Structure 1
Amino acid sequence: MAYIYTILAILSLIQESLCAELYFLASKQVELSEPTAAFLSKADVMQANKYMLGMTAETPLTWAIEGDIFRRPRALAVVTVINGKALSNLPPSKYAVSADGEDFNHEELVNNKVFRDEGQEWILMQNAMLEGSQIAYDAQNTLLGIQVKTKSKPLRQEIENLYKIAESISKSKVARTRNTPTIFIINVNGLPAAEKELSKNEYKLAIDELESAIQHLISVLRNTYNDRVIAELITESKSEIKKRQKRQEDSPKSPSDRIMKLRKELNVYQFSSGNYPATFGIFLLVSVALFLIVLFVTVGLWNMDPGKDSIIYRMVTTRMKKD
Structure 2
Amino acid sequence: MFRQILCVAVTLAAVQAAGELTILHSPESVTFRGEEELSQTVMTEVFTAALGNTPKLRSSWDGMAINDIFDLPEAVVVVAVEGVKSIESPSGKHYPLIEDESEETTWQALSGRLEERDKSKTLIRINLEDGVDALGQSVLGELKVTPIDESSLKSLSVKNKWDREFLEQTQLLDALTKKVSQEITVDDKADLYWFVVSALPAVIDAHRDQPAAVKEAFAILNNALSRLSSAFMDAYKGKVIIAAFTNDASHARHTRAAGDEVTRSIDNITVADVNPSKEYDETYPVMFTIFLWFGVAFVFSLIAICITIADMDPGRDSIIYRMTSNRMKKDN
Instruction: Report TM bin, short chain.
Output: 0.5 to 0.7
CA contact (8 A) 1:74 1:179 kept: yes
Could you tell me which residue of structure 1 aligns to residue 70 of structure 2? 70
Task: Give the structure 1 partner of residue 205 of structure 2.
Answer: 196
Paired residues of 2:76 and 2:192 also in contact (CA < 8 A): yes
**Aligned-pair CA distance for 1:60:** 5.3
Distance (Å, rounded) in 2 between the aligned partners of 1:181 and 1:67? 18
Give TM-score, length-normalised by structure 1. Answer: 0.61
In structure 2, relative to structure 1, the CA distance for the partners of 1:162 and 1:126 (3 Å cut) is closer
Structure 2 residue identity aligned to 1:109: L
| Residue in structure 2 matched with residue 3 of structure 1 by the alignment | none
- Trace 1:148-163 onto structure 2 (pairs within 5 A): 149=150, 151=158, 152-163=163-174
**1:216 corresponding residue in structure 2:** 227
- 1:143 and 2:144 aligned: yes
Decide whether the 8 Å contact of 2:14 with 2:255 is kept in 1.
no
Which residue is 1:183 aligned to? 192
Counterpart in 2 of 1:26?
25
Q: How many residues align?
A: 240
User: After superposition, what is the alpha-carbon deviation per residue over 1:260-310, rounded to whole angstroms, capped at 9, x for unaligned?
Assistant: x9578649xxxxxxxxxxxxxxxxxxxxxxxxxxxxxxxxxxxxxxxxxxx
Residue matched to 1:246: 254
Specify the alignment match of 1:228 in structure 2. 239
Determine what percentage of the aligned residue pairs are the same residue.
Answer: 17
Determine which of 51, 54, 60 is the counterpart of 1:53. Answer: 51
Inter-CA distance 82–102: structure 2 relative to 1 (3 Å threshold): closer
CA 1:230–1:33 in 2, change beyond 3 Å: closer, same or farther? Answer: closer
The answer (yes or no) to whether the contact 1:155–1:191 under 8 Å persists in 2 is yes
For 2:72, the aligned partner's letter is: R
CA distance in structure 2 between the partners assigned to 1:48 and 1:195 by the alignment: 31
Distance 1:108 1:203, change over 3 A: same
Output the TM-score relative to the length of structure 2: 0.60
1:29–1:72 contact (8 Å) kept in structure 2: no
When residues 18 and 148 of structure 1 are mapped into structure 2, their CA distance, relative to the original with a 3 A threshold, is farther
Evaluate the alpha carbon distance shift between residue 99 and residue 118 of structure 1 in structure 2; reply closer, same or farther with a 3 A threshold: closer
Shift in Å, 1:223: 0.5
> Which residue is 1:95 aligned to?
95
Task: Give the Cα separation in 1 of the matches to 2:74 and 2:179.
Answer: 17
Q: Is it true that 1:170 corresponds to 2:168 in the alignment? A: no
Structure 2: unaligned runs, 5 residues or longer: 1-12, 151-155, 269-332
- Which structure has more relative contact order (CA 8 Å, sep 6+)? It is 2
Q: Is the 8 A contact 1:128 1:157 kept in 2?
A: no
- Distance of aligned partners of 1:88 and 1:25 in 2 relative to their CA distance in 1, 3 Å threshold: same
Letter in 2 for 1:214: L
Q: Name the SS for the 2:253 alignment partner.
A: helix
| Closer/same/farther in 2, CA of residues 46 and 19 from structure 1, 3 Å limit | same
- The residue number in structure 2 matching 1:80 is 80
User: 1:9-30: per-residue Cα shift (whole Å, max 9, x none)?
Assistant: xxxxx99984322111001244
Q: CA RMSD in A?
A: 3.8
Kindly state the Cα deviation for residue 67 of structure 1 after the two structures are TM-superposed: 3.7
Contact 1:166 1:216 in 2 (8 A): yes
Q: Which residue type is aligned with residue 107 of structure 1?
A: Q
SS at match of 1:122: strand
Larger Rg: 1
Report the Cα distance in structure 1 between the residues aligned to 2:134 and 2:45, rounded to whole angstroms. Answer: 22
The alpha carbon displacement at 1:248 in A equals 3.4
What is the deviation of 1:250? 7.1
Residues 87 and 244 of structure 1: CA distance in aligned 2, closer, same or farther (over 3 Å): closer
Q: Relative to structure 1, is the Cα distance of residues 115 and 161 closer, same or farther in structure 2, using a 3 angstrom cutoff?
A: farther
Residues 118 and 17 of structure 1: CA distance in aligned 2, closer, same or farther (over 3 Å): closer
Give 1:188 shift: 1.6
Q: Are 1:126 and 1:187, in contact at CA under 8 Å, matched by a contact in 2?
A: yes
* Separation in 2, partners of 1:223, 1:108: 28
Question: Structure 2 vs 1, CA of residues 183 and 26 (structure 1 numbering), >3 Å: closer, same or farther?
Answer: same
2:79 alignment partner, SS class: strand
| Structure 1: 5+ residue stretches without partners | 1-13, 253-257, 268-323
Is 1:81–1:188's contact at 8 Å kept on the other side of the alignment?
Answer: yes
Per-residue deviation, 1:71: 2.1
